[in-house]
Amino acid sequence: MHTFAEFNRTDGPADAIAHGSLVDAPVALFASDAAGDQPAFQAQGLMLSLLGTADAATLRNWFARLAEDGTVVDDLQQRPWGAFDGQIVDRWGLHWLIGFEDDSTG
């Protein structure tokens, strides 16, 4: 992640995110904070899903990182049908479902 300050931007708080990315797997996510007079993002009734988009170790890491300063809604665990999944509301209020079929990391 890179802040507005790192990009010499003055159209928002210095510690706001000007460019953030998650690109360590087949799914690439990019995001930034709103700038200037742009309205802040608000979502209700939305869940982002990362199911089988990377190997188990990567998805476990993403789960742990998104849980930092967030709320674990349903811990990442094996389900009766054999797959693993869990839910988090991250520190910014975004709801995530993360899961995978094969747990080669134990």
Q: Are residues 70 and 21 in the same domain?
A: no
DSSP string, the chain: -EETGGGT--SS-TTSEEEEEE-SSS--EEE----TTPPPP--SS-EEEEESSS-HHHHHHHHHHHHTTSEEEEEEEE-TTS-EEEEEE-TTS-EEEEEES--TT-
Q: Which domain holds residue 85?
A: 46-106
pLDDT digits (tens, 9 = 90+) for 27-63: 788 888 888 888 877 778 899 999 988 899 999 999 9
pLDDT at 25 exceeding the cut of 70:
no
Task: Please state the domain count of the chain.
Answer: 2
pLDDT digits (tens, 9 = 90+) for 82-105: 999 999 999 989 999 999 998 765
Q: Are residues 94 and 58 in the same domain?
A: yes
Q: Are residues 51 and 102 in the same domain?
A: yes
- The confidence score (pLDDT) of residue 54 equals 86
Determine, yes or no, domain membership for 41: no
pLDDT at 64 exceeding the cut of 70:
yes
Q: Are residues 56 and 102 in the same domain?
A: yes
